[in-house]
Amino acid sequence: MLILITALLLFLTALAVVILQIMRPEFRFTWLTAVGGTLLAWISVLLWQANMPLSFSVLPWKPANLFSESPAFSAETIIWPYALSLVTLAVSILLTASVNETFTSAFVWAGSLTLCGLGLLAVTAANPLTLALVWAALDLTELIIMLRSVNDSTSSERIVISFSTRAAGIGLLVWANVVTAASGKSLSFLTTPPQVGLYLLIASGLRLGVLPLHLPYSAESTLRRGFGTTLRLVSAASSLALLAHIPASSLASPLTPLLLILAAIAGIYGGWMWLRAPDELIGRPFWMIGLASLAIAAALLGNPTGTVAWGTALILIGGALFLASVQQVWISRALLVGAFSLSALPFSLTASGWQGNVSGFWYIMPFPLIAQALLMTGFIRSALRPSTRASLESLPIWARGIYPVGIGLLFFAQILLGIWGWNGALQIGTWEAGFVASLLTFGLLWAIPRFPALNPVPAHWVQPSSASRLDRLYQNLWIIYRWLERLSKTVSDILEGDSGIMWTLIFLVLFISLMTQGKP
Amino acid sequence: MSAPFIWIFLPLIIGGLSLFITRERLATIVGGVTAILLTGAALIVPIDEALGFGSFSIKVASSFQILGRNLTLDAAEAPLLTILFGVAALWFIGAESVGVARRLTPFGLIIISLLVASIAVQPFLYAALLIELAILVAVPLLSPLDQIPGRGVIRFLIYQTLGMPFILIAGWLSAGVEASPGDLALTIQSTMMLGLGFAFLLAVFPLYNWIPLLMEESSPYIVGFLLWLLPTVTSILVMSFLDRYVWLRTSAQVISALRVAGLLMIVTGGIWTAFQRHFGRMMAFAAVAETGFILLALSLDPVTGLPIIFLLLIPRGLGLALWALSLSVLDSNTKSLHFSSVQGMARTYPLASAGLILSALSTAGFPLLAGFPPRLALWNGLSQQSLSMAFWLLIGILGLAAGAVRMLAVIVMADEKTVWASKESWAQRGMLGIGMIGLFILGLFPQAANSILDKLPLMFQHLGH
């Protein structure tokens, strides 16, 4: 029931904000209402710990003989960090909105809260059916928001491609359900059968843009800090949570090394592009690909706890950086807490990131570690980068007090989760991996001023739409598609032409003779 | 008073009289109110039971005799009548907003009454004749009297008419099979005839080429109405045949043929949807796949298959109605439904575009939409029989989904100068809104219609028991 209370607090606060904005646009306490409701939701998530595990079922689907599973939600200790991260993000977005240019737009706050509520439902989904429903809701919401935010046809096309990729992820999830049903069982996250582990992993990887590597969105100029950050991070969290439900035993497949290599390539690509991004918002998609690939690598290493570590790092560390829109020395320094959280060193948020069957894949392990180092270096540089942003001192006194709390809450959550988060928290972890990644990071930080190749590229160079091997692959697929289209048109023309009736009757006779073949 | 009078003759008479209506609004009101009242009656009025009003009571008899034949609608058929007239009410009410109410109300009511009669007639062999009558009435509906019928209308008439003699011969042979069950040759002949008859009526692969042709040359709304109604009633008749003849429902060949035919319709319908460049033709092939889903469900174990078929009925009707309405709104504001003409229309007709995309996604089984729960149940049921068959179903669904995505890509691809504005009328917005909300409600709560659906298996004595 607590899950429902938290989600309802977010949705009802969003609704209240919208109603207030429409009915009483001059009302001065709309923002306070939003913050109050969200803080209550945050406290309610903390209260989950008192009653773990939690579960909550919606009305069962009928007829009962057709639907062995109905929409249901559950929260175990492994999922709780995601829930806390999402609600913390919601609070932080509202608190940091006090310094944003979109501060007066209550609809943006309502949108952010709704998205966080949907994200919360996604991470607490108890079975693939529920997750598919919430993913679909998130995808449709994102589709509408993104289509409204762009003007040109090329961007619209990219949004549709992104939507279809995510829909393919939903398709794989449903297919996993079908494969389980074939063996007469029902698929629940409590009892994930071994034969569907890879489907679930690829479904998540597809939605995250890691398997196969793709980056559909460009600079996202109109959806930048607050709302854009919510949209991207909630969407990622909803997909990452699935990885925590994949048992290690179900990923023991001959395909595992290949998938691990692909995830490592995606991680290095994401890390490299993140390192060279001219600013953190342009680099945001690469940050997400980089960390998502580390989470996928952890899942492939048989380490569900590690996926949660990298997943929460993506939301909390990324959230702090992307929401930091005001220049202040102490905030910039405090952002470096994120570098420690990302290091996989003992007692950090990601300390459990490199556990699992690391020694079994020793020959692949250097690549995810390189990716991690690139991401850490890029993060440190973004945190300390001097910018033209407004300084905190130039803001009203109340904003000067509230804004650091918004960012600080994300640091607090990182430390809290590192100590208390889940069964894998407060541990030394595979410290050697964290040590190697940290050394590499220091090496890269030393090399940056000395090697121009490591410096940021101008903003207009960072275009995911530029021609690449991947684009050529898609072009070849398009050629095949056009060929099939011509073939189908030819068949249609024959069947719908003057001789169509004769052809259909011939097909019919053929069909009947095939069906009765060998029968008396 | 008898049930056949209420649900067959009353709509027939009202349909006939409404041929003289000249105003769109009045035709909509007559059609909508009639269908709603008949839906309510099917929900409330008990058949063959006394209905008391204080000291006064009436009893609605289940049978009515005409020309020596019986028309019987008993209490078990009431849920089906509720669904048929309920969904028809949506079609009739939406007709005004696209300007086809004067045609749809009279002919639609007549066609529904004839098709209900085909379910009610005893001996049920006469159903084929009543369906043929309904098809003949559909011709002026599709092609107004002052217009030369196109190739699609002619082909529709040819294919649907070809089905009738096969079913009549099959019925005649079936009597012989019942008399001598051991006569294998007679059984095979009878099964073949029946299969061919229903293949023509249900537009089974490859006999569906009239559907895309019709969608190109007639009003999408009217074609959509027929694509909803005809296969729905014909499927019920197929189930009646299976229920009546034990040798049919126990025949492995019949079950296998149903499964192959269903999968062929879904796969070819899905793939063809993905490759079309005309929105109307896309809907046509999606409707073919929709019928395939019903046939596929029919091939499953009846305990699983029958509830799936009934679960498919309402989402199918709602989805096609929304799709046809959206297409008609777009059609009336552009030269044609070719990609080049409708490109970017989402900016100026956002609700119609949303209705179009949501109904296409619902047909493809996108979660959260009405089509998802029945498809999931069907997919799970099929996978328990054969995972390879379930994979073929995946191919068909992928085709349908690819079609929906292509549609989306085309309709949102506007130039930078086009600003967002909703040019739909208030009536259109209202109907499109209701349709979309309905898709979401049924997608999230498939149990919403369970109180009606769970009584439907009572229509059949043997299937589903």
ipTM: 0.91
Report the gap between the CA of B439 and the closest CA in chain A (Å).
13
Token pair 């930048």 in the structure block, residue: A224
In this model, does residue A255 exceed pLDDT 90?
no
Closest residue, chain A, to B257 (C-alpha): A515
In chain A, whose CA is at the least distance from the CA of B199? A508
pLDDT-derived band at B185 (thresholds 50, 70, 90) equals confident
Would you place residue B456 in the very low, low, confident or very high pLDDT band (cuts 50, 70, 90)?
A: confident
Q: Containing domain of residue A314, as a range? A: 2-466
**DSSP per-residue letters across A240-267:** HHHHTTS-GGGG-STTHHHHHHHHHHHH
The CA distance from B10 to B3, in Å, is: 10
Nearest to B295 by CA among B242, B251, B246: B242
Which of A401, A378, A158 is closest to A282 using CA atoms?
A378
Q: Pick from A197-201, B11-15, B75-79 the range whose average pLDDT is largest.
A: B11-15
The string of pLDDT tens digits covering residues B227-285 is 999 999 999 999 988 888 888 888 888 888 899 999 999 999 999 999 999 999 999 99
Q: Please calculate the CA angle A344-A347-A353 and round it to the nearest 5 degrees.
A: 35
Q: How many Cα atoms sit within 13 Å of A332 on the Cβ side? A: 15
pLDDT single digits (tens) A120-144: 999 999 889 999 999 999 999 989 8
CB A210 within 8 Å of CB A266: yes
Nearest to A181 among B303, B383, B413 (CB): B383
Mean pLDDT of A449-476: 63
Could you give the CA distance from residue A376 to residue A385 in angstroms, rounded to a whole number?
14
Lowest mean pLDDT segment, chosen from A55-69, A247-261, A454-468, A496-510: A454-468
**Rounded distance between C-alpha atoms, residue B324 and residue B316, angstroms:** 12
Mean predicted confidence (pLDDT) in B188-199: 87
- Between β-strands B69-72 and B63-66, what pairing exists: parallel, antiparallel or unpaired? antiparallel
- Residue A390 is predicted with a pLDDT of 66
Q: Is the peptide bond before B123 cis (omega within 30 degrees of 0)?
A: yes
Nearest CA in chain B to A178: B380
Contact B212 A516 (CB under 8 A): no
Distance from CA of B456 to the nearest CA of A (A): 12
Q: Chain A within 8 Å of B390 (Cβ-Cβ)?
A: yes
C-alpha A23/C-alpha B1 separation (Å) is: 54
State the nearest Cα–Cα gap between B440 and chain A, in angstroms: 10
Does residue B228 contact residue B321 with C-beta atoms inside 8 Å? Answer: yes
**Beta pairing, strands B63-66 & B56-59:** unpaired
Tell whether A218 is covered by a domain.
Answer: yes
pLDDT score recorded for residue B271:
93
**Of B196, B398, B416, which has the smallest distance from its Cβ to A151's Cβ?**
B416
pLDDT tens digit string along A379-390? 888 887 766 566
Which residue in the set A67, A137, A167 is minimally distant from B401, CB to CB?
Answer: A167
Among A3, A233, A220, A230, smallest CA distance to A94 is for A230
Quick check: B146 contacting A, CB < 8 Å?
Answer: no
Contact yes or no for A60 and B196 at CB 8 A: no
Residue A506 maps to a domain: no
Other C-beta atoms closer than 10 Å to the C-beta of A470 total 13
Is B101:B218 a contact under the CB 8 Å cutoff? no
SS3 content of chain A, % helix, strand, coil (to 5): 70, 0, 30
Residue range B327-376, pLDDT digits in tens: 999 999 898 999 999 998 999 999 999 999 999 999 999 999 999 999 99
Q: Do A170 and B212 touch (CB under 8 A)?
A: no
Which residue type, as a one-letter code, is found at position A66? L
* Domain count of the fold of chain A: 1
Q: Residue A224 has what pLDDT?
A: 59
Please name the member of A66, A132, A508 whose beta carbon is closest to the beta carbon of B377. A66
**Strand B69-72 with A72-75, pairing:** unpaired
The type of residue at B456 is L
Minimum-distance CB partner of B380 among A164, A178, A484: A178
**Per the domain annotation, does A364 fall within a domain?**
yes
CB spacing of B412 vs A63 below 8 angstroms: no
Q: Tell me: the pLDDT tens digits for B271-300?
A: 999 999 999 999 999 999 999 999 999 999
Residue B122 pairs with which residues in a beta bridge? B70
Residue of chain B nearest A514, judged by CA positions: B257
On chain B, the residues whose CB falls within 8 A of the CB of A140 are 368
| pLDDT more than 90, % of chain A | 19
Residue A516, in any domain of the structure? no
Cβ-Cβ contacts under 8 Å for B390 (sequence gap 6 or more): A178, A182, B379, B382, B383
| pLDDT for residue A131 | 94
pTM (predicted TM-score):
0.90
Residue A460 has pLDDT above 60, yes or no: no
Residue-wise pLDDT for A300-346, tens only, equals 888 888 898 899 999 999 888 888 777 677 777 777 888 888 888 88
Whole-angstrom distance, CA of residue A147 vs CA of residue B287: 28
Count of beta carbons in the 10 Å neighbourhood of residue B52: 10
- Distance, in angstroms, between B2 CA and closest chain A CA? 32
Phi and psi dihedrals of A327, rounded to 5? -80, 125
Res. A420: pLDDT tops 80 = no
Mean of all residue pLDDT scores within chain A:
83
Contact A519 B253 (CB under 8 A): yes
Question: Strands of B69-72's sheet, edge to edge?
Answer: B63-66, B69-72, B121-122
Position A183 scores a pLDDT of: 85
pLDDT at A520: 44
Which amino acid is present at A463? Q
Which chain A residue is nearest to residue B407, measuring alpha carbons?
A: A160
Residues 205-264, chain B, touching A (beta carbon < 8 A): 205-207, 209, 212-213, 253, 256-257, 260
Report the residue of chain B nearest A186, measured CA to CA.
B380
**A494 within some domain:** no
Please give the structure tokens belonging to residue B267.
């796969």
Interacting residues of B285 by C-beta distance below 8 A, sequence separation 6+: B211, B212, B268, B269, B270, B272, B273, B276, B403
Spell out which residues of chain A touch residue B196, defining contact as CB-CB under 8 Å.
508, 512
Closest CA to B126 of B117, B135, B136: B117
Task: Determine what percent of chain A is predicted with pLDDT higher than 70.
Answer: 88
Whether A257 contacts A273, CB under 8 Å: no
Q: Of A65, A152, A501, which has the smallest distance from its Cβ to B304's Cβ?
A: A65
- Put simply, the answer to whether B367 touches A501 (Cβ < 8 Å) is no
Q: How many CB pairs under 8 A join A and B?
A: 149
Dist. CA B123–CA B117, nearest whole Å: 12
Q: Which residue in A66, A164, A165 has the most chain B C-beta atoms within 10 A of its own C-beta, making it the best mutation to test that interface?
A: A66
- Res A219 pLDDT > 60: no
Instruction: Verify whether the Cβ–Cβ distance B209 to A496 is below 8 Å.
Output: yes
Contact (CB<8Å) A181/B380: yes
Measure CB to CB from residue B272 to each of A135, A492, A507 and give the nearest one: A492
Q: How much is the pLDDT for B325?
A: 95
CA distance A76 to A57: 15
Among chain A residues, the shortest Cα distance to B261 is held by A511
Nearest CA of chain B to the CA of A208: how many Å? Answer: 19
The pLDDT, as a whole number, for residue A196 is 86
Contact indicator for B137, B19 with CB cutoff of 8 Å = no
Classify residue A446 by burial, with Cβ atoms within 10 Å: 0-12, 13-18, 19+: exposed
Q: What is the pLDDT of residue B90?
A: 93
Q: Which of B188, B199, B376 sits opposite A174 (nearest CB)?
A: B376
Amino acid at B287: A
Contact A135 B367 (CB under 8 A): yes
Tally of CB atoms within 10 A around B191: 22
Concatenating the DSSP letter of every residue in B161-174 gives HHHHHHHHHHHHHH
Q: How far apart are CA A80 and CA B272, in angstroms?
A: 45
pLDDT greater than 90 at residue A502: no
Least confident segment among A11-25, A409-423, B116-130, B211-225: A409-423
Is there a contact between B346 and A147 if contact means CB atoms under 8 Å apart?
Answer: yes
Q: What is the 3-state secondary structure (H, E, C) of B31-71?
A: HHHHHHHHHHHHHHCCECCEEEECCEEEEEECEEEECCEEE
Whether A285 and A232 have beta carbons less than 8 Å apart is answered as: yes
Residue A152, min C-alpha distance to chain B (Å): 5
- CB A507 to CB B206 under 8 A? yes
A275-309: burial string, b at 16+ Cβ within 10 Å, e else: bbbbebbbbbbbbbbbbbbbbbbbbbbbbbbbbbb
Residues of A in contact with B377 (CB under 8 A): 66-67
Residue type (1 letter), A239: S
pLDDT of residue A469: 61
Taking 50 as the threshold, does the pLDDT of residue A465 lie above it?
Answer: no
pLDDT at A387: 61
In a domain, A491, yes or no: no
What is the C-alpha to C-alpha distance for residues B215 and B30, in angstroms, rounded to an integer?
26
Alpha carbon distance A303, A352 (integer Å): 8
Question: How many angstroms away from the CA of B401 is the closest CA of chain A?
Answer: 9
Is A359 a member of any domain?
yes
Confidence of residue A226 (pLDDT cuts 50, 70, 90): low
Contact call for A65 and B398, based on CB within 8 A: no
Percent above pLDDT 70 for chain B = 100
In this model, does residue A95 exceed pLDDT 50? yes
Q: Taking CB atoms and an 8 Å limit, are A153 and B414 in contact across chains?
A: yes
Mean pLDDT of chain B: 90
- Say whether B447 and A59 touch across the interface (CB within 8 A): yes
- Does residue A476 form part of some domain? no
